[in-house]
Amino acid sequence: MRWLTDPWDWWVVPFVDNPFMRDAFLAAGLAVVCTSLVGTWVVLRGLSFLGDALAHGVLPGIAIAYVLGVSTTLGAVIAAVAMVGGVSLIRNASPLPDDASIGVLFVGFLALAVVVMSAGAATGDLNRFLFGSINAVSGDDVVELAVIAALTLTAIVVGHRALLIGTFDTVQAAMAGFRPRATHLALLVLVALSIVAAFETVGSLLVFAFLVAPPATAALLARRVVTIMVTAVAVGVASALVGLLVSFHHRTASGATMALTTVVVFMLALGARRLTVSRSH
Amino acid sequence: MRVILIPLPPRVRLTSSARRVAALVAAAVIGASCGGGEALPTTTSASAETVPAGDADEATETTGGGVTPSAATPAAPIATTTIWADITSAVLCGVAVPAIVPVGADPHTFEAPISARADIAAAGFVVANGLDLEEGLLDLLETVEADGTVVVRMADHVEVLDHGDDHGDDHGDDQHDHAAGDPHIWLDPMRVHDAIDAIVDAAVTAGHDADAVAACADSYRAELTALDTEIAEMVAMVPTAARQLVTNHDALGYFADRYGFEVIGTVIPSTSTMASTNPADLADLAALIAATGVTTIFTDAESSDVDAAALAERLGGVTVTPLLTGSLTSGGEDGRDYLSMMRTNADRIVAGSSAGDS
């Protein structure tokens, strides 16, 4: 209960005393800004499963890039784009519903990553990608994440009207001169970029929590899209903060603790909402 | 204050990432629910008790400081594993040395809390194993090293053995130096004997009393030599033809190298517990065990042995014996420090290797 009884010591002192805590919070905070902004559209458009598939779909790109000795970030981006392309290819070429084509590619990509890694015998690095390395974040990483967060914010603001209309009425969007399919693809690329930006902080296995949990929490609490986005960013940043502090004070694995916090916050919001809804009836 | 021993995920294969997530989440929940506990287990070689880091610091301050505050007392180092913490503590005359990977955890798979950065910052230097043993700490160690913290990698100071069957992992990598070779160097006491000079050097550079540390290192080296002699005598009871080991993951290469054993097969075909088994290798291993008459599969106390146990059951007449390969133990005498851990292992290996001949 020290977070209540001695709030200064629990909440502030770790950041005052430790530069790495400031870097880690900045990195996690910037990553969660990217994922919360993009994730709002993922949640509102019902693309969560595709988001999850993308979060894991970057792994084979990383694995192959690693074995070839090229940039793993580049590999991750290529794999994510391949996943997006593959999903629309399967959707257009088959009568299957979306979730089936996503599922097939999802598991295919994940399996490919494990096979490539087992042949390349590089478990140490797979560990790093699965679980991230927020503990090792440095100033350079923060600058890189700040740039990506700024780009994401710009894209979300510029594309806002197209995304808004396309989300709720594709026919009207097409008539109004927005191209719903191009908008959709652009959004998926944004999702991929935010995942690539964020997976180094919490890891590929858990980055999906950053993408979906804060916007889902916000969607419980707010109705307007912009309000949801702002709330999602606030919830995400707060979750990252609490998760980092819990990891710091209680020695739990840092990436997993942050991811778990986002989900706990969602559950709390859900509980609070049910309480208020049942009271108003 | 109490010591939290976070239950670590069992050895988890890449193919079962979901299980690993569940275990990690469980670890996070359990860790978070242990309110108020923030102790890092430390090892003092003299008593080899696990004590909270805070208490140890206070103890050091009172004994070292006396009436005046002791600004001259250099900070104790931190080690990655409990085994290297114990060895480092012995070399530094019993100073309390914390370990990043807690007692009973698998150093291959441990995911660090962010507080590990603070522990490292408070330490004088870091004693790590190297050769990618600490897979979850690779980035962390590289980052603190780039920030100027001295990281002593013990594997840099011994003759390294290659992993038994190499997968030809000659991939280039522009970002990290990839260690090739078996990381389990501490399972040969004489390699530890030869490598502890590196700890002495780092400690003296960090301001520890050179004469005192040299004396403690000498007496510990004498204990290591005695341990080596003792194990060699125990092993002499095993007929040369029976000195064949089957292990869970490829951890016993250095022990085998030192004491004339041969590791003829491993359930997990890797020096890492993170790798996974495959049916062809398991079938080969079963045939090999049947052909050689090996009666024991030696597993790792701190990671899962499901595949080894299944294999032993399928073969019949084969037992599974856990060895203390990656961590000291918290209770009992068997693995309370490095020396007793090695005696326990030697005991079990001799008993397991002789079982078929009697």
Stated pTM of the model: 0.80
Q: With contacts defined as CB-CB under 8 Å, which chain B residues touch A267?
A: none
B113·A67 Cβ contact <8 A: no
Least CB–CB distance from A250: residue in B32, B108, B139: B32
Q: What is the mean pLDDT of residues A165-171?
A: 84
B173·A247 Cβ contact <8 A: no
d(Cα B252, Cα B310) in Å, to the nearest integer?
21
Could you read off the pLDDT of A202-257 as tens digits, one per residue? 888 789 999 999 999 999 999 999 999 999 999 999 999 999 999 999 999 898 89
Nearest to A269 by CA among A224, A217, A229, A232: A217
Residue-by-residue DSSP string for A81-145: HHHHHHHHHHHHHSS--HHHHHHHHHHHHHHHHHHHHHHHT-HHHHHHHHH--GGG--HHHHHHH
- The nearest CA of chain B is from the CA of A157 a distance in Å of 34
Least CB–CB distance from A256: residue in B25, B116, B172: B25
B171·A251 Cβ contact <8 A: no
- At A179 the pLDDT is 85
Least CB–CB distance from B113: residue in A17, A124, A252: A252
- At B55 the pLDDT is 39
d(Cα B77, Cα B203) in Å, to the nearest integer?
8
Band the pLDDT of B276: cuts 50, 70, 90. Answer: confident
Residue of A25, A123, A202 best to disrupt the B interface, most CBs of B under 10 A: A123
- At A121 the pLDDT is 55
- At A125 the pLDDT is 63
What's the mean pLDDT when you consider all of chain B? 79
d(Cα A133, Cα A146) in Å, to the nearest integer?
17
- At A149 the pLDDT is 94
| pLDDT higher at A169 or A37 | A37
For residue B246, the surrounding DSSP H or E stretch is: strand B244-247
- At A281 the pLDDT is 62
Q: Tell me what percent of the residues of chain A surpass a pLDDT of 70.
A: 96
User: Is residue B277 predicted with pLDDT exceeding 50?
Assistant: yes
Q: How large is the ipTM?
A: 0.78
Closest chain A residue by Cα to residue B28: A252
- The nearest CA of chain B is from the CA of A39 a distance in Å of 22
Residue of A205, A241, A251 best to disrupt the B interface, most CBs of B under 10 A: A251
- At A6 the pLDDT is 92
Asked whether A244 and A20 are in contact (CB, 8 A), the reply is no
A254·B112 Cβ contact <8 A: yes
Q: What is the mean pLDDT of residues B164-184?
A: 51
Residue of A135, A244, A249, A258 best to disrupt the B interface, most CBs of B under 10 A: A135
Identity of the highest mean pLDDT range in A113-122, B251-260, B347-356 = B251-260
User: If you search the block for the tokens 């990618």, which residue do you land on?
Assistant: B132
- CA B23 to chain CA mean position, Å: 21
Structure tokens of A138? 């440095």
Burial level of A88, CB count in 10 A (0-12/13-18/19+)? middle
Least CB–CB distance from A253: residue in B35, B108, B111: B111
- At A200 the pLDDT is 78
Identity of the highest mean pLDDT range in A106-110, B45-49, B55-59, B207-211 = B207-211
Neighbours of B308 (CB within 10 A): 27
Could you tell me the sign of the dihedral formed by the alpha carbons of B86, B90, B91, B96, in that order? Answer: positive
Closest chain A residue by Cα to residue B143: A136
Position B200, amino acid: V
Structure tokens of A108? 């295919």
User: If you search the block for the tokens 């002791």, which residue do you land on?
Assistant: B70
A117·B14 Cβ contact <8 A: yes
A253·B138 Cβ contact <8 A: no
B272·A123 Cβ contact <8 A: yes
d(Cα B300, Cα B302) in Å, to the nearest integer?
5
Least confident interval from A153-162, A196-205, A244-253, B123-132 = A196-205
Least CB–CB distance from A124: residue in B35, B36, B138: B138
| pLDDT higher at B158 or B51 | B158
d(Cα A27, Cα A134) in Å, to the nearest integer?
8
Beta carbon pairs, A and B, within 8 Å: 155
User: Is residue B22 predicted with pLDDT exceeding 50?
Assistant: no
Q: With contacts defined as CB-CB under 8 Å, which chain A residues touch B143?
A: 135-138
- The nearest CA of chain A is from the CA of B77 a distance in Å of 18
Q: With contacts defined as CB-CB under 8 Å, which chain B residues touch A251?
A: 4, 6, 31, 38, 40, 113, 115
Neighbours of B1 (CB within 10 A): 12
Could you read off the pLDDT of B298-327 as tens digits, one per residue? 999 888 888 899 999 999 889 999 999 999
d(Cα A17, Cα A35) in Å, to the nearest integer?
29
d(Cα A200, Cα A194) in Å, to the nearest integer?
11
